[in-house]
Amino acid sequence: MRADLAAIYGEERLPRYTSYPTAPHFTSAIGPDTYARWLAELPAGASASLYLHVPFCREMCWYCGCHTQIVRRDELIAGYQRTLRGEIALAAETIGRRIKVEHIHFGGGTPTIMAPEAFAELMATTRQRFFVLPSAEIAVEIDPRTLTADMVEAMRLSGVNRASLGVQSFDPVVQRAINRVQSFEQTASVVDMLRGAGIEGINFDLIYGLPHQSVASCLDTVRRSLALAPNRFSVFGYAHVPDFKKHQRMISEAVLPDGLARHDQACAIANALKEAGYVQIGLDHFARPDDSMAVAFEQGTLRRNFQGYTTDKSEVLLGFGASAIGHLPQGYVQNEVQIGAYAQSIAAGRLATAKGYGLTDDDRLRADIIERIMCEFSADLGDICARHGAEAGAMLKSAVRLKPLISDGVVRLDGDRLAVAKDSRFLVRSVAAAFDAHLDTAKQLHSRAV
C-alpha cells in the first residue's frame, strides 16, 4: 500500500458498497404493498438466500454499528423469535410456492442469544416454508463470550455449517476501551466446541482503527488468531460515527488512530495473513486457498451483498427481522427498524417494509460495474455496458471522479478495461465511488476510505 495515496484519499467517507444504490437512498415510497407485488412476481425458477436479523445483545460494544439493543429478559427474545417465524410464513405465502434456498445467514446483534430450542424451531419453520437445499450454507454470527454447549448442539442439529466469530482485538487495553473483554481462551474454547460439533467453516472478524490500537497489537491479535486456524478472516476498519450511533460517544476521538496509522494497521494485518498462506479477497476478506470463497475469487464468480463478500449466486435475498434488508430483481426493501413497529406489522398480517428503492436500468448497470470492481479490482466496461445496452465511452465520461485516480496511478485504463493498481487496492472503494451517481460526500454516515 502507498502511504502517499492513503494521505490523499484515506479520510474520505465512502460506502462499503454492499449494495448499489446504498441504504441512505432508500425512501418510504417503497412499502408493504410494493414488496408483496415484487414477491409475487418472482419467476418460477428463482432461488433465494435468506438473512435473519436478531437485534439483541447482552451488553453494548462501543464500536458497534449494528441495529441492536441490550436485553436482560428472555421473554422479549422469545416473542421476537415468534414474530420472525410469522414473517417467514407471511413472505412464503405471498410468494405462493416453496422456493429453493442456497444460503441462510443469521446476523445481529447476537443470533445465539436465542434459547437453543427457539433457534431449532426457527430453523424448522424456515425449512417448512422454503426448500433449503442439502448443500445450502447456513451461517451464524457468534459472540464467543455467550455461546453455550446447548446452543452449539442446536446449531449442529439445525444444519449450521459456518460460524463467524467476533474477535476484533485480543489486546486487553483495546478491549476495555470498546467494552468487549474477551479472552483468547474463551475464543479457543468456542472454536473447539464448534469443530467438535462438525461445524468446520470458521470465520474470524477483526477490526483495525480502534482506540489505543497499534500495529504491534494488531499483529499480536493476528498471531493468536492464526493459532486457531480459521478458514476465513474479515478485516474491517472501525467506522466512528457518534452522531449516528450514540453509544460510540463512549470512545474518545483523542485515542483513535489517524488515517495514516489506520493505513499502517491495515497493511500489517494484510501482510501477516498473506504470509500465513491466506488469499486476499477484495477489500477486506482473507481465506485459505481451498476455501469456497478463495475458489470463487479465482474463478471470477465472487459476489457482494449486505453480508459482504459471498459465494452466493442468487439474485434474490429475503431479509427477515427488524431493520433487515432484502434485494430482489426489482429493487431493495428494508423492514421497520424499531422492533415494536416491526412486530405490530407482522401481527397484523402485513409485511413490515418501511422503505426501499426501485432500481432503474442505469442503477443496474452501475451496480454491475461497482460489484466487479469491488470483487475483482477490475471491470470490463465494454462487456458490462454492452450487456446493458449502454456505451462504455459515455459511462467513462460521466465518471469524473475517475480522472484524479488515473492521474495518481490508482487506476489504469486499457481501452474500456479498468484495473486498480496492485499497490492501490486498498482504495477500491474510491474507485467504485467514481461510478456512483448517487454519491453524497457531505453525508458522514460512512466509514473512512482507509
| Domain boundary pick from 287, 320, 353 | 320
Report the alpha-carbon distance of residue 262 to residue 257 in Å, rounded: 6
* pTM for this entry: 0.93
Please indicate, yes or no, if residue 329 is contained in any of the structural domains. Answer: no
Q: Which of 233, 322, 323 is nearest to 279 (CA)?
A: 233
Burial 169-201 (b: 16+ CB within 10 A, else e): bbbeebbebbebebeeeebeebbebbeebebeb
- Per the structure, the count of domains in the chain is 2
Peptide bond into 289 cis (omega under 30): no
Indicate the Cα dihedral angle 26, 27, 33, 36, nearest 10°.
0
Print the domain residue range for 389.
Answer: 1-24+361-450
Query: Do 306 and 399 belong to one domain?
Result: no
Peptide bond into 198 cis (omega under 30): no
Query: Do 84 and 110 belong to one domain?
Result: yes
Q: What would you report as the CA-atom Rg of the chain, rounded to the nearest whole angstrom?
A: 21
| Domain boundary pick from 266, 297, 320 | 320
Report the alpha-carbon distance of residue 431 to residue 427 in Å, rounded: 7
Query: Do 191 and 113 belong to one domain?
Result: yes
Please indicate, yes or no, if residue 437 is contained in any of the structural domains. Answer: yes
CATH number, domain containing residue 85: 3.80.30.20
Please indicate, yes or no, if residue 96 is contained in any of the structural domains. Answer: yes
Write out the chain's pLDDT in tens, 450 residues.
Answer: 577 887 788 678 789 899 999 999 999 999 999 999 999 999 988 999 999 999 999 999 999 988 899 998 899 999 999 999 999 999 999 999 999 999 999 999 999 999 999 999 999 999 999 999 999 999 999 999 999 999 999 999 999 999 999 999 999 999 999 999 999 999 999 999 999 999 999 999 999 999 999 999 999 999 999 999 999 999 999 989 898 899 999 999 999 999 889 989 999 999 999 999 999 999 899 999 999 999 999 999 999 999 889 999 999 999 999 999 999 999 999 999 999 999 999 999 999 999 999 999 999 999 999 999 999 999 999 999 999 999 999 999 999 999 999 999 999 999 999 999 998 888 999 999 999 999 975 454 555 555
Report the alpha-carbon distance of residue 307 to residue 88 in Å, rounded: 19
Query: Do 71 and 92 belong to one domain?
Result: yes
Query: Do 19 and 35 belong to one domain?
Result: no
Q: What is the DSSP letter of 370?
A: H
Report the alpha-carbon distance of residue 302 to residue 35 in Å, rounded: 27
| Domain boundary pick from 291, 320, 349 | 320
Please indicate, yes or no, if residue 235 is contained in any of the structural domains. Answer: yes
Report the alpha-carbon distance of residue 277 to residue 272 in Å, rounded: 9
